[in-house]
Amino acid sequence: MKRNIVIATVTAAALIGGGTVAAYASADDGDAPTQRQTSVRIADDRNDDADDRNEAADDRDDATDDRNDTADDRNDDATEARGSKITAADAIAAALKNTPGTAVSADRDDDGAGAWDVNVVKGDGTEYSVLVSPDTAKVVGAQRDDDDDNDGREDLAALKGASVDAREAAEAGAAKGTVTDVDLDDDGPAAWSVETTKGEWKVDLKTGKVTQDHDDDTAQDNGQDDRDGDDD
């Protein structure tokens, strides 16, 4: 009788112990995939974070390259402008004398001769590209732009009621450095956009007030502000 009780007790203990082991084994088997999946997710998140950082670094590099390209272009324009005896304002005046109308832009041509290229719009909206010698202010060419894109009419509409023309804008911008480019900026409130050797500037169409173009990183890097009246 006692032997039967002992055997029964041992058997029960074995069953209980086995159940506990089985329970542990079952728990271990269930947790292992979860732990592995968690580890994989953490690794993936880290890789994603690394990829995001790399993309952000690439974006910064691209932005730096763009600024460097802009600075290089500006330096090239500045070198040409400094070597020119004729200012942007002089070139605009000469172009309008040859081809009457409204000047809407002036910059240095990249054909190798470095002539001033002045865009003049007639009253009917037709556009002309007038080339002015950077040394003599003589007109060396004038060609009609046959593109039917209505840009000329849009420029005239933007300048309606303006008190400051392109030549006056060039003269105003010259207080901020040697002028290399004058253009009509009609993105938002219309204004003259004047690029100089020291940055880009906005010239108000009605008052002629010159303010810094805050989208221009180079001007900001140079520490220029609206009070800076020094030339190059």
pLDDT value at 116 more than 90 = yes
Q: Count of residues for the chain? A: 232
Domain end call among 29, 58, 83: 83
Please indicate, yes or no, if residue 228 is contained in any of the structural domains.
no
Parent domain of 111 = 87-221
Q: How far is CA 111 from CA 78, 165, 178, in A?
A: 16, 26, 21
Same domain for 104 and 121, yes or no, is: yes
Range 183-200 average pLDDT: 94
pLDDT digits (tens, 9 = 90+) for 12-33: 444 444 444 443 444 445 555 5
Residue with the bigger pLDDT between 148 and 15: it is 148
Please indicate, yes or no, if residue 2 is contained in any of the structural domains.
yes
pTM metric for this prediction: 0.61
Same domain for 144 and 207, yes or no, is: yes
pLDDT digits (tens, 9 = 90+) for 123-142: 999 999 999 999 999 999 99
Counting residues of the chain whose pLDDT is more than 70, the rounded percentage is 65
DSSP string, the chain: -HHHHHHHHHHHHHHHHHHHHHHHHHHHHHHHHHHHHHHHHHHHHHHHHHHHHHHHHHHHHHHHHHHHHHHHHHHHHHHHHHH-SS-HHHHHHHHHHHS-SEEEEEEE-SSSS--EEEEEE-TTS-EEEEEE-TTT--EEEEEEE---S-HHHHHHHHTTT-S--HHHHHHHHGGGS-EEEEEEE-SSS-EEEEEETTEEEEE-TTT--EEE-TT-HHHHHTT--TT-----
pLDDT recorded at residue 6: 40
Give the integer Cα–Cα distance in Å for 115 and 111. 8
Range 52-76 average pLDDT: 63
pLDDT value at 146 more than 90 = no
Same domain for 69 and 157, yes or no, is: no
Q: How far is CA 106 from CA 117, 133, 166, 191, in A?
A: 5, 13, 8, 15
CATH of the domain at 177: 3.10.450.40
Same domain for 9 and 122, yes or no, is: no
